[in-house]
């Protein structure tokens, strides 16, 4: 397994729209394993392929304390959404920033699992929020897009400054 590099806002590659996975073959299975490994190492609860610069429709999530309940959705499709829930979100591509975002409270999705087998899933609360957040990534959308342009600009400026410092090795 390998740890992949996570792109950070405002990288343009995070804005690419992902394409559907045609077949869950060995290459995709390896990518899923690497994405999980990358997510666990970064101490995140979710990761979309877009964030590791692979523009295919794959997301992984693990909300368990023990980090032993990975969930993988390939080609996820929202089939139902109701209610509104506001909660604090963060993102491995927007490190260090947490803001409140409104999402659907209850959703139903269908997807393929890590073996390519179709399944449907009903989700509430945190899992529903997380799936919607990760599905947004596949559309090139980030949680900061739900914030005011002033807030988004502030986050952008701060992250750009950090990236410049990292580049110069300071």
Residues in contact with Ni ion by CB under 5 A are 91
* Least distance CB 66 / Ni ion (angstroms): 22
Instruction: Kindly tell me the burial class for residue 159, based on how many C-beta atoms sit within 10 Å of its own C-beta (0-12, 13-18, 19 or more).
Output: buried
Which position's Cβ is nearest Ni ion? 91
- Contact between 58 and 35 under an 8 Å Cβ cutoff? The reply is yes
Which run of H or of E encompasses 90?
A: none
* Least distance CB 91 / Ni ion (angstroms): 3
Q: Given the complex with Ni ion, which of 116 and 147 has the nearer CB atom?
A: 147
Q: Given the complex with Ni ion, which of 28 and 143 has the nearer CB atom?
A: 143
Active site residues: 134
Q: Which of 37, 49, 44, 45 is nearest to 7 (CA)?
A: 49
Q: Which of 146, 105, 100, 99 is nearest to 128 (CA)?
A: 105
Q: Given the complex with Ni ion, which of 91 and 112 has the nearer CB atom?
A: 91
**Quick count: other Cβ atoms within 10 Å of Cβ 43?**
8
* Least distance CB 133 / Ni ion (angstroms): 5
């Amino acid at each position: 397994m390998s740890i992949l590099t996570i792109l950070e806002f405002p990288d343009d590659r995070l804005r690419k729209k992902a394409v559907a996975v045609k077949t869950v073959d060995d290459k995709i299975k390896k990518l899923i394993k690497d994405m999980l490994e990358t997510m666990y190492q970064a101490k995140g609860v979710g990761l979309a392929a877009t964030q590791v610069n692979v523009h295919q429709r794959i997301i992984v999530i693990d909300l368990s304390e023990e980090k032993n309940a990975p969930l993988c959705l390939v080609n996820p499709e929202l089939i139902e959404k109701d209610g509104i829930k506001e909660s604090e979100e963060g993102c491995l591509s927007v490190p260090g920033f947490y803001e409140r975002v409104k999402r659907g409270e209850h959703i139903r999705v269908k997807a393929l699992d890590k073996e390519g087998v179709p399944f449907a899933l009903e989700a509430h609360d945190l899992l529903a929020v997380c799936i919607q957040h990760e599905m947004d990534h596949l559309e090139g959308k980030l949680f900061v897009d739900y914030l005011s342009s002033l807030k988004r600009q502030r986050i952008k400026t701060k992250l750009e400054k950090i990236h410049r410092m990292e580049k110069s090795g300071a």
